[in-house]
């Protein structure tokens, strides 16, 4: 029997979830789901200089909030799913999270004793050595190598120290690091990558990487290899920026005598001008997109297509998370960088908005409406469920992000200031305009409550307009909205109701005299 698929998303908590990180997490999640495997969330927090209070919790919250709930590893304490799972341990250092699964701890800063043990093993077997070189010496070495047009690399000076000398210098309190002893004679290091095919790097081009820093903390390289092995990770799916590190990892697997996992390196996300996706050119944090009113489902759908497509000539673009899991395959993951085009995201978001029920859209849009002053100051009768459902009904078709709800339709919440010069239809006189408005007022006064629906009002007004649509409907629409552009008058009339409709027509008529 082949062993079950186990993948991990292993972020370093830097304060927010980057959209590139979301893509990595998503591909891991999809691959695990497709193969009924485990999706592990491991936290790589061994870089103490980058420690930020609360960053880990907010990262886990973003991930879970968007629907990528791990099956194993770190979870939020308040996670509703967690009560159904056996919590295996609580984090010692992070009060907001706990862990599920038998391969923990899943937070690297809580695994230091493990890395220490494996670093000692490597030293004992000659695959690693202690290095006492000062910063000054290393800087000088780098300068010399750069001047000679050589790739900067440690020159193995400390690799030949005797174990007695090493012991003496440690006893004397001299600071040291542990370095990987790259066997230069090893020649080509070849590994297979699910995205890039065979990758080959010569051992001469691999530096004697620091594995343990002077503060005793492991570097990413040692910690991730040890963890991936101990956590029985079968596939390492991560960003392309880690590709140059992989030969070092392959050497570590060899040094330990472990079988390496299968690697898949995902290409960079690019700005539309093909530069690397950067904060300067737009938002990169998942939270920024959610707070602008992009739906988690749309963001997931969008991110899935950054470097993947369903193939086989499929033109389907709207995919739910489970449909994505079913369709996902590394054979369809691209080698070329993926352009982060927010116009596509807008389009997808609009598709999800259109597909929602009015009730659901109202519920999701309400938190955004509550932040608008025109809504806050609106009378209570314009905040009822019925009223808001009508507002949402006429806005749904054109809405791209939830945060824009109401912005083009403020006249549904406050009485508009109508500019009388806007009321006449092309070349019409104020008298002709007043006549059209009087006519509309008379017709609308006679409409019964049961006929005051979007459809009926549309029929009644179109019939009344006859051939002269613009002459009749334009002044009415402006009278009701005060705006150059707005939904058709029947829609506005339906939302604001008969009383306000008639009073707005009367005000417009007064302004014409
Ligand atoms: N901690 C690394 C990061 O922040 C993880 C790299 C990997 O997946 O091996 O991206």
C-alpha 153 – ligand 1 centre gap (Å): 23
Which pLDDT belongs to residue 2?
65
C-alpha 239 – ligand 1 centre gap (Å): 8
The residue nearest atom 10 of ligand 1, judged by CA position, is: 11
- Check if the beta carbon of residue 480 is closer than 8 Å to that of residue 499: no
User: Which strand (E) or helix (H) includes residue 62?
Assistant: helix 55-65
Nearest atom, ligand 1, residue 9 CA: 8
C-alpha 265 – ligand 1 centre gap (Å): 11
Is 364 among the residues known to form the active site?
no
Q: Write out residues with Cβ below 6 Å of ligand 1.
A: 10-12, 44, 220, 224, 238, 242
DSSP lists the bridge partners of residue 235 as: 7, 262
C-alpha 17 – ligand 1 centre gap (Å): 13
Nearest atom, ligand 1, residue 11 CA: 4
- Check if the beta carbon of residue 507 is closer than 8 Å to that of residue 480: no
- Distance between CA atoms of residues 225 and 211, nearest Å: 11
C-alpha 43 – ligand 1 centre gap (Å): 9
Which pLDDT belongs to residue 277?
83
Ligand 1 pocket test: pick from 242, 246, 262, 263 the residue with the most ligand atoms within 8 Å of its Cβ: 242
C-alpha 11 – ligand 1 centre gap (Å): 5
Which pLDDT belongs to residue 283?
81
C-alpha 10 – ligand 1 centre gap (Å): 5
C-alpha 316 – ligand 1 centre gap (Å): 32
DSSP calls for 168-180: HHHHTT---EEEE
- Check if the beta carbon of residue 219 is closer than 8 Å to that of residue 213: yes
- Cα dihedral 369, 374, 376, 377 in deg (nearest 10): -160
- Distance between CA atoms of residues 433 and 450, nearest Å: 29
Residue 141 contacts by C-beta under 8 Å, 6 or more apart in sequence? 152, 154, 155
- Distance between CA atoms of residues 286 and 134, nearest Å: 41
Nearest atom, ligand 1, residue 12 CA: 4
Which pLDDT belongs to residue 189?
97
- Distance between CA atoms of residues 407 and 372, nearest Å: 8
Cα-to-chain-centroid distance, residue 485:
34
For residue 93, the tally of other CB atoms under 10 A from its CB is: 13
The residue nearest atom 5 of ligand 1, judged by CA position, is: 10
Which pLDDT belongs to residue 278?
75
* HSE-CB of 40 using CA atoms within 13 angstroms: 27
Which pLDDT belongs to residue 494?
98
Which pLDDT belongs to residue 47?
84
- Check if the beta carbon of residue 246 is closer than 8 Å to that of residue 239: no
Q: Which of 279, 335, 354, 468 is catalytic?
A: 279
- Check if the beta carbon of residue 300 is closer than 8 Å to that of residue 67: yes
- Distance between CA atoms of residues 369 and 281, nearest Å: 27
Q: Kindly list the structural domains of the chain, giving each domain's residue range(s) and its CATH number in brackets, ordered by start.
A: 6-109+269-332 (3.40.50.620), 111-266 (3.40.50.620), 356-412 (no CATH), 420-512 (1.10.10.350)
The residue nearest atom 2 of ligand 1, judged by CA position, is: 11
| Distance linking the first and last C-alpha atoms of the chain | 88
The residue nearest atom 3 of ligand 1, judged by CA position, is: 11
Nearest atom, ligand 1, residue 8 CA: 8
- Distance between CA atoms of residues 153 and 132, nearest Å: 16
The pTM of this model reads 0.92
Ligand 1 pocket test: pick from 28, 224, 225 the residue with the most ligand atoms within 8 Å of its Cβ: 224
* Local mean pLDDT, 10-residue blocks, the chain (513 residues): 87 90 97 97 87 86 91 82 67 85 94 97 98 97 95 95 96 97 95 96 95 95 98 97 96 98 94 80 87 96 96 90 96 91 96 98 97 97 98 97 96 97 96 97 98 98 94 98 96 98 98 90
- Distance between CA atoms of residues 142 and 127, nearest Å: 23
- Helix, strand or coil, per DSSP, at residue 213: coil
Largest CA distance in the chain: 107
Which pLDDT belongs to residue 251?
98
C-alpha 21 – ligand 1 centre gap (Å): 9
Beta strands in 240-284 (DSSP E): 262-266, 269-270
User: Which strand (E) or helix (H) includes residue 131?
Assistant: strand 128-131
DSSP lists the bridge partners of residue 418 as: none
The string of pLDDT tens digits covering residues 463-503 is 999 998 999 999 999 999 999 999 999 999 999 999 999 99
């Amino acid at each position: 029997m082949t062993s079950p698929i186990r993948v991990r998303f292993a972020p370093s908590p830097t304060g927010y979830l980057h959209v590139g990180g979301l893509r990595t997490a998503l591909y891991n999640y999809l691959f695990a789901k497709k193969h009924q495997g485990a999706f592990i969330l491991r936290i790589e927090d061994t870089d103490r200089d980058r420690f930020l209070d609360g960053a880990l919790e907010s990262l886990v919250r973003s991930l879970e909030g968007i629907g990528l709930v791990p099956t194993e590893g770190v979870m939020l304490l308040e996670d509703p799913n967690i009560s159904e799972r056996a919590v295996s341990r609580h984090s010692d250092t992070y009060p907001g999270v706990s862990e599920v699964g038998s391969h923990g701890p899943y937070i690297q800063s809580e695994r230091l004793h493990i890395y220490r043990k494996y670093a000692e093993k490597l030293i004992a077997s000659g695959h690693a050595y202690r290095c006492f070189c000062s910063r000054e010496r290393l800087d000088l070495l780098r300068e010399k190598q750069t001047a000679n047009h050589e790739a900067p690399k440690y020159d193995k000076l400390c690799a030949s120290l005797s174990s007695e000398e090493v012991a003496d210098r440690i006893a004397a309190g001299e600071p040291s690091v542990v370095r990987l002893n790259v066997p230069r004679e090893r020649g080509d290091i070849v590994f297979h990558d699910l995205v890039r095919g065979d990758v080959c790097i010569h051992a001469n081009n691999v530096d004697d990487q620091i594995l343990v820093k002077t503060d005793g903390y492991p570097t990413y390289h040692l910690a991730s290899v040890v963890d991936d092995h101990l956590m029985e990770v079968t596939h390492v799916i991560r960003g392309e920026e880690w590709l140059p590190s992989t030969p070092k990892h392959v050497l570590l697997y060899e040094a330990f005598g472990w079988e390496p996992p299968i690697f898949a390196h995902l290409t960079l996300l690019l700005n539309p001008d093909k530069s690397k996706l950067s904060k300067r050119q737009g938002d990169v944090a998942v939270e920024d997109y959610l707070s602008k009113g992009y739906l988690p489902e749309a963001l997931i759908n969008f991110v899935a297509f950054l470097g993947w497509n369903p193939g086989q000539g499929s033109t389907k673009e709207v995919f739910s998370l489970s449909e994505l899991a079913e369709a996902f395959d590394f054979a369809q993951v691209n080698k070329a960088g993926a352009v982060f085009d927010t116009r596509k995201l807008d389009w997808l978001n609009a598709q999800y908005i259109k597909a929602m029920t009015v009730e659901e859209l109202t519920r999701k849009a309400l938190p955004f409406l509550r932040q608008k002053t025109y809504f806050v100051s609106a009378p209570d009768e314009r905040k009822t469920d019925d009223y808001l459902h009508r507002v949402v009904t006429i806005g749904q078709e054109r809405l791209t992000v939830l945060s824009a709800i109401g912005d083009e339709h403020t006249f549904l919440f406050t009485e508009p200031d109508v500019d009388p010069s806007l009321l006449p239809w092309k070349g019409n006189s104020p008298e002709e305009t007043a006549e059209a408005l009087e006519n509309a007022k008379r017709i609308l006064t006679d409409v019964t409550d049961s006929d005051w629906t979007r459809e009926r009002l549309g029929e009644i007004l179109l019939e009344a307009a006859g051939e002269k649509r613009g002459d009749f409907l334009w002044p009415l629409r402006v009278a009701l909205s005060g705006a150059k552009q707005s939904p058709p008058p029947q829609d506005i009339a339906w939302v604001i109701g008969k009383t306000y409709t008639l009073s707005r027509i009367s005000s417009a008529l007064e302004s014409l005299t």
